[in-house]
Structure 1
Amino acid sequence: MITDWLSNIYLWTKSLHVISVIAWMAGLFYLPRLYVHHTEQTTPGTQMDGVFQMMERKLLKLIMNPSMIATWLFGLMLVLTPGIVDWTAFWPYAKGASVIAMTWFHMWLAARRKDFVAGEFRLSGRTYRMMNELPTVLMIVIVFAVILRF
């Protein structure tokens, strides 16, 4: 049965989930910083603009997207593992809402990359600096929810 299989590989799933989250978070912390420098140090169409676009594309496509997908995959496997989630507690809902918000932020960052590709520097470096705090707040909520299980 699938639940027996998930129970048998629980520690592997948990380990892969943590690894995926670390990779995803690294990208969520770094991409907005790249946007700060892209906005403040370049203008559309310059050689440096192209360098930033290449770095942003590779970070998003080669690291962030696969790690987000893996985070969701292994997270859902953990949710389906019997005895892991206490659905009468508040913590799984706090974590779930935070993960959805983090996924929204990921998609927001992807949309901003398309702005740069189109030569549109719509937002200021200050805006990207402020938005860069969102994944930190969400990470704090997730860690406290999972560890403290309130």
Structure 2
Amino acid sequence: MIDYLNWIKAAHIIAVVCWFAAIFYLPRLFVYHAMSEDLVSQERFIVMERKLYRGIMTPSMIATWILGLWMVGLGWEVYKTQGWLHVKIVLVILLSAYHGACGFYRKKLVRNPQYKTHVFWRWFNEVPVFALIFIVILAVVKPF
């Protein structure tokens, strides 16, 4: 059973890495999209953002959730009393809300590339960094 769990954990880590890569890159594309002034560039960013969001970011989030919940389910008797996991799940829920906000903003940018300034997008891009730091610390250190 342990070997089986390790394969699930490895797949979960791969999904998390892919999700975070996309979460870090999509708002960076928003920066460039907001700064673009010609129609060709704007159309290029629309395609890149859509493919990243639908083709990588969302499937990675779904895989992260499925694999994470699978691991929790396999070890529920141990995990149910560990506070670090509950905090981690709350952070992943918040990160999922950020993911949804990215989808919302992506659609807004299609209609209006100057919906928000590039400065807003630069700050927006920093939000998941804090989630990553805390989630990794919780998963590795298990402080409580």
TM-score by length of 2: 0.92
More helix by share: 2
Give the percent of matched residue pairs that are identical in Structure 1 and Structure 2: 35
> Which secondary structure does the structure 2 equivalent of 1:121 belong to?
coil
RMSD of aligned alpha carbons: 1.7
Kindly report which structure 2 residues correspond to 1:76-91, keeping only aligned pairs within 5 A, or say none: 76-82=69-75, 85-91=78-84
- The Cα shift of 1:9 comes to 1.8
Residue 42 of structure 1, aligned match among 37, 41, 44? 37
Q: What runs of 5+ residues in structure 2 fail to find an aligned partner?
A: none
TM-score by length of 1: 0.89
- The Cα shift of 1:47 comes to 1.2
Residue 66 of structure 1, aligned match among 59, 70, 82? 59
Aligned twin of 2:23:
28
Alignment size in residue pairs: 143
> Which secondary structure does the structure 2 equivalent of 1:9 belong to?
helix
Structure 1 residues 76 and 8: CA distance shift in structure 2, 3 A: same
Q: What runs of 5+ residues in structure 1 fail to find an aligned partner?
A: none
**CA distance in 2 between partners of 1:51 and 1:118 (Å):** 14
**CA distance in 2 between partners of 1:8 and 1:83 (Å):** 17
Letter in 2 for 1:67: S
* Deviation >4 Å, runs of 4+: none
Letter in 2 for 1:37: Y
**CA distance in 1 between partners of 2:25 and 2:106 (Å):** 13
